[in-house]
Structure 1
């Protein structure tokens, strides 16, 4: 008896083919698509703060972490991002580029959404290639123009570059004050080199070349040789480009050698660490270029300073304010992008217009969002606006 043909059925092979095709199509989604790869829909949003918590630059890391944490705590009290809590974890880079690079790899493997920090340009520059490859947006407190030179679409600055700081300062010293005899002392690290090059270019553009240009190392403690050469030139002002502690030691030793000319510089010279290291009398009259001169500059800065004081029992300053702005920009971008990650989050940061403590942020393709500083002077141990 002949067998009656059975109706066709879906074979195991056909099902497998369909599954494979579906997976393949999903894997071929265009970069930046709002797919499961660009958004995590549940659980805490993991953000890292990476800064020195030990060593000579630990004060920078402490200020930055406090500013970032204050912003995150405020957002979490209001429900986080669409009901999801923001999880902030602190990593100590020790001010060391190698340690920073190892942390960057850890952030990639542990699926951090974004990174805040570092406050040290050299460390951020070392970390940037790993973060770019992992598509982790990074908002840094560094100011070296070397950060911009990386041209990473995932790297953003929460303050001006050295060019902005130092062109504003050179304009004030040369045009407003009429100084022609300017000495320079900077260190050979990423920050110091950036400050050296930016100020030198700005001064020469205004027709003034330094009477002497001294470069020291980042770990140097005795500056008598460089300062003796500066003293011999009898400068009207001394430009200093180094971090807080070293800058303070330079000024202290300069006064001991009889150098009476005022010093001038950027962000580090406006901090309590610089003032305390050099001594109140030694820093009197120091001229500072900064986007955040005082906690009393505006209603917003007063509110921030009061919240900072209540949370930590300490007075806020520039670096904490920068980190607070940077964290709020990141969190705003996460909110508007529905907690996007990778390229989508980087695009959302770049599209975020934010009125911050340092000014009005609007990011360009280089990752720079603010391009203005003002001039202040240290008077009686405090940085005040120049009248």
Structure 2
């Protein structure tokens, strides 16, 4: 009986040891994510996080191996509050924690100063910060995974003149790195298109009352008003435009191409707001509809502006890890620069500064308070 008991104990110990050995073969790979998880733009930060999370869940299910070890991806998501100081602190935290691959930030004002911390810490950064300065720091392994302000702002100027047949425009920007950057690009292209800028006003990314600005705009009677800023201000702005009897169309960049605009602006957004978003029309891509469906099933909500881009770049990074047979960001980055990747929202190929070589842009309007794509360019 004692021998029998000893035998069972030995078998049990061997099983535990084998399980521990198998577990030891797993290698934890932390993927950082930084964005606004609190405050007015939290809806966007959470959407970006969900895009990364969905990719990592699928990758973990595939049991990917490198160097004989199965990779186990873990998401470390941090709230940078769309604030430069907080964003730099988050960057230092992730770097100090040994995180070598970071998705984000969402806001250009965070991406510009934080990119130096990631570069000095040897981490790869993949951001949707669209201000041109984001990729002008000379940092390797920094990728802008969508179109930049030069494409987004200029595309809305072309759309205003060619499609909306506008002759005059007013411009408002919130003085953030994103808002000012995209507004400057709109103005530059508008002038080359012969569009006359009749008024230029400024606000902040905390403002909610735009009566004074809009009263000034109404007196100038612009055909369109371009707003360089975010949905939490854009929604109330278009509602106040309607209350003041302003008939101009409200134009903006990717940050306005969000269901949040409809929630805040309600029926005032319908056929009045036009925005340009980096990325192809998902419904027209081979895998876009399937991505939208699985996102909705997993998170019980529709994907917002950049979920697909964050999902794609996460998949691209891991694909590059496999090609490089390495977790070294330098070797992984070399593969990313060398080999394009076809994702849900487009084909990702980067120049030596980390800008997408051919970044598609889709123009949206709103109907029933929801963004509706019109065309991709």
Distance in 1 between residues matched to 2:205 and 2:233, nearest whole Å: 8
Q: Which residue of 2 aligns with 1:11?
A: none
Residues 385 and 342 of structure 1: CA distance in aligned 2, closer, same or farther (over 3 Å): closer
* Contact 1:270–1:293 (CA under 8 A) maintained in structure 2: no
How far does the alpha carbon of each residue in 1:259-305 deviate from its partner, in whole angstroms, 9 at most, with x for none? 12211112122101111111123443322212447553333111101
Paired positions, count:
347
1:351 to partner: Cα distance: 2.2
Gaps of 5+ in 1: 1-40
Alignment of 1:212-361 (within 5 A): 212-292=199-279, 295-361=282-348
How far does the alpha carbon of each residue in 1:353-375 deviate from its partner, in whole angstroms, 9 at most, with x for none? 11123222110012112422132
* Contact 2:26–2:72 (CA under 8 A) maintained in structure 1: no
Equivalent position SS for 1:84: strand
Task: Tell me which moved more, 307-316 or 373-382.
Answer: 373-382
Higher RCO (CA 8 Å, separation ≥ 6 residues): 1
Distance in 1 between residues matched to 2:114 and 2:65, nearest whole Å: 27
Distance in 2 between residues matched to 1:81 and 1:148, nearest whole Å: 32
| 2:33 is aligned with 1:45 | no
* Contact 1:181–1:211 (CA under 8 A) maintained in structure 2: yes
Q: Which residue of 1 aligns with 2:374?
A: 386
Q: Which residue of 1 aligns with 2:42?
A: 58
Q: Which residue of 1 aligns with 2:134?
A: 147
Distance in 2 between residues matched to 1:314 and 1:385, nearest whole Å: 18
Equivalent position SS for 2:275: strand
Asked which structure has the greater CA Rg, the reply is 1
| 2:360 is aligned with 1:372 | yes
Residues 88 and 81 of structure 1: CA distance in aligned 2, closer, same or farther (over 3 Å): farther
Distance in 2 between residues matched to 1:267 and 1:245, nearest whole Å: 13
* Contact 2:208–2:236 (CA under 8 A) maintained in structure 1: yes
**What is the aligned-residue RMSD (CA, Å)?**
1.8
**Which structure dedicates a bigger proportion of its chain to strand?**
2
Residues 304 and 81 of structure 1: CA distance in aligned 2, closer, same or farther (over 3 Å): farther
1:340 to partner: Cα distance: 3.0
1:205 to partner: Cα distance: 1.8
* Contact 1:185–1:215 (CA under 8 A) maintained in structure 2: yes
Q: Which residue of 1 aligns with 2:64?
A: 80
| 2:151 is aligned with 1:164 | yes
Distance in 2 between residues matched to 1:298 and 1:58, nearest whole Å: 28
Distance in 2 between residues matched to 1:80 and 1:118, nearest whole Å: 27
* Contact 1:221–1:246 (CA under 8 A) maintained in structure 2: yes
TM-score by length of 1: 0.85
Distance in 1 between residues matched to 2:282 and 2:361, nearest whole Å: 15
Task: Tell me which moved more, 168-177 or 221-230.
Answer: 168-177
